[in-house]
A and B are shown apart, each in its own frame.
Chain A
Amino acid sequence: MIYKYIYLSIISISLVIGIVNYRILNIGGKILTAYLLSVLTTEILALIVFKTDNLLVYITGCSFQYALVLFYFNESFSNIKKRNLGLITAPLSIFIFFIITHFKGIPTRKIYEYLILMEGFFIISFCLMAYYYLLVKDMSTQILRVFDFWIVSLLFLFWSLSYFYWGFSGIIFHYKYHYVIYYFIWVVNCILYGGIGYILYSYKKGKLGTAE
C-alpha cells in the first residue's frame, strides 16, 4: 500500500506544479496538466470508489488519457497538427477498438490489455513523428532545452519499457515472481509522472522553451 501512496503523491506533486504554473505553460503543458489530473482521478477512483472491480475505471481512464496524450502531440507539433492526426486518431481508434472488442465478446481483462497495446502502438508512432519533426526543424536553441523533446523522450522511453508488460499483464500475473515486474513498472510509472512534473517545473523556471 505504501507504494501506492508514494505513486499517488508523485502524481499529486506533479499535478500541483502543473496547476501552479498553468498560466505560463504552453498549450502542451496545459494538456499534460489535464493528463496528470486524469491519471490522479483514475487512480483515486480505482483505489477508493471501485476497489473491488476497478478494471472498467482503468479502461475509461486510460482511454481518456490516451486521447489527451494524442491531443498533446496534435497541439505541440506542426507536422501532426497540419492534418489533425492526433485529433482524428484518438477518437477513431478508440471507437473502432470498442466496436471490435464488443462484437468479438472479448473479456474485460483482455480488453484492458489490448487497449494498452493499441495505446502504446499509437503513442510510440506519434513519438517517432514528433522526433522526425524536431529533427528536420532548424532550431536556434539546443535540443536539451526544448520542453517538447523531454516530454516526447519521457513518453517514448516509458512506453518502450512498459509496452509488453502492460500488454501481457494478464499472463505475467500468473507468473511466480510477477511482483518483481510490477515493482519495475511502478518505478517506470513514478519516473514518468515525476518526470512530467519536473519538466513542468523547469518550464516555469525558464530553463526550457518550446520547439516552435
Chain B
Amino acid sequence: MGPQNNILPIILLSTSILFLFSTSLVLFFVVQKRKQYKHVIEKERLENAFKNQLLQTELEVQEQAFKYMSEEIHDNILQGMGSIKLQLHSILYDIRDEDLKNKITDSNDLLGKAINNLRNLSHSLNNSYVANVGLIEAIEKEISYINSTKQTKCSLRVKGNDYNLGAEKELLIFRIIQEAISNALKHGKPRSIDIALIYRPEKLNIKIKDDGAGFDTSIRNSDGIGLNNMSVRAKMLNGKLDIQSVKNSGTSIYLEVANDK
C-alpha cells in the first residue's frame, strides 16, 4: 500500500466530516430562519391586530361622539331654533309694517331651511338612524342633502332584491359611503357622484364612482386618514375594499360585503 493509498481514507473522512458539518449548518440555518420568519410574521400580525384594535376603538369613540353631537343638535339646538321659529311666527301677527313683515317671513324661511339641514345632519350622525330607516333610505337622504347644494349631482342605483345586513354592518357601510362622498367633495370637486348597490344573494357590492380630480393611490398623505378609516371599517365588515384612482380621471371605490344572513 503506497502513501497515496494511506492518505485517501483520510481525505474521504475529512470530506465527509466537512460536508456533514456544512449540511448540518445549512439545515440548522434554514430551521432557525424559518423560526425567525414565523416570529416576524407573528409580530407583524400582532402589531396589525393591535393597530386595528386601536383604530376600531377610535371609530367607536368617533361613533359615540357623533351620537352625542346628534343628540345635542336634536335636543338642544333644534329645540331652540324651533322655539325661535315659533316666536318669529307669532311676532308676524303683531307687526303692521309690511317691509318688516317680509323680512321676518324671509328670516323664518331661512331658519326653516337651517332647521331641516340640521335635522338631516343630526340624523346622519345618529348611529341608530341607519337601523331605523334602512341603508337605502339613509343613503337617499344623504344624496338629497348633497343634491340640494346644486354643486354636485349625486345618484343612487339599486340592483337586485335588497336585504338587511344587520344594524352594525349597515352603519359601517353607510359610514364608508359617507366618507367616500365627503372625500370626493373635499378633494375631487366632482360634477357627479354615482353610487350603486348591487344586491346578490351571497354578497352586496357597492360602487362609488366620481368624475373628480382623482389622486395618485401610491401617495398617501395626511389626508389618507379618511382612506384608512374606510379600510378599517371594511376590515371590521370582513369586506373587500378596492380604491382605484387616476389623477384627473376620477375615483372608483368598490366594496364587497358578504351576506351572512
Query: Using a CB–CB distance below 8 Å, which chain A residues touch chain B?
Result: 124, 128, 131, 134-135, 138-144, 153, 156-157, 160-161, 163-165, 168, 171-172, 174-176
Contact = CB atoms under 8 A, between A and B. Distances in A.
A174 B4 contact: yes
B26 interface: yes
Contacts of B40: 138-140
28 contacts: A128-B25, A131-B25, A134-B33, A135-B33, A135-B36, A139-B33, A142-B34, A143-B33, A143-B34, A143-B37, A156-B22, A157-B19, A157-B22, A157-B26, A160-B15, A160-B19, A160-B23, A163-B15, A164-B11, A164-B14, A165-B11, A165-B15, A168-B7, A168-B11, A171-B11, A172-B4, A175-B4, A176-B5
Contacts of B19: 157, 160-161
Interface residues of B, number: 25
Most buried by B among A139, A160, A163, A174: A160
A176 B7 CA distance: 13
B4 A134 contact: no
B11 A160 contact: no
What is the predominant secondary structure among interface residues of chain A facing chain B?
Answer: helix
Interface string B1-34: 0111101100100110011011101100110111
Nearest to B33: A143
B44 interface: yes
Most buried by A among B7, B29, B34, B44: B29
Interface of B: 2-5, 7-8, 11, 14-15, 18-19, 21-23, 25-26, 29-30, 32-34, 36-37, 40, 44
> Lowest 7 CB-CB distances: which A-B pairs, in order?
A143-B33, A160-B22, A160-B18, A174-B4, A164-B11, A164-B15, A171-B4
Contacts of B8: 171-172, 175
Contacts of B29: 131, 134-135, 143
Contacts of A171: 3-4, 7-8, 11
A144 B36 CA distance: 13
Contact of B26 (A124, A153, A161, A164): A153
Nearest to A132: B29
Nearest to B14: A164
Most buried by B among A163, A164, A168, A174: A164
Nearest to A176: B5
B129 to A, nearest CB: 43
Contacts of A128: 25
Nearest to B8: A175
Contacts of A143: 29-30, 33-34, 37
A138 B11 CA distance: 38
Nearest to B11: A164
Contacts of B11: 164-165, 168, 171-172
A157 to B, nearest CB: 6
Given A143-B37, A168-B7, A161 B30 contact: no
Contact of A164 (B18, B30, B36): B18
Nearest to B12: A164
A175 B8 CA distance: 8
Nearest to A175: B4
B189 to A, nearest CB: 39
A117 to B, nearest CB: 12
A31 B14 CA distance: 31
A156 B26 contact: yes
Contacts of A141: 37
A157 B36 CA distance: 23
A164 B22 CA distance: 14
A11 to B, nearest CB: 23
A147 to B, nearest CB: 14
B97 to A, nearest CB: 78
Contacts of A164: 11, 14-15, 18
B198 to A, nearest CB: 35
Contact of A142 (B15, B26, B37, B44): B37
A87 to B, nearest CB: 25
B32 A135 contact: yes
A170 to B, nearest CB: 9
A123 to B, nearest CB: 12
B15 A161 contact: yes
B250 to A, nearest CB: 32
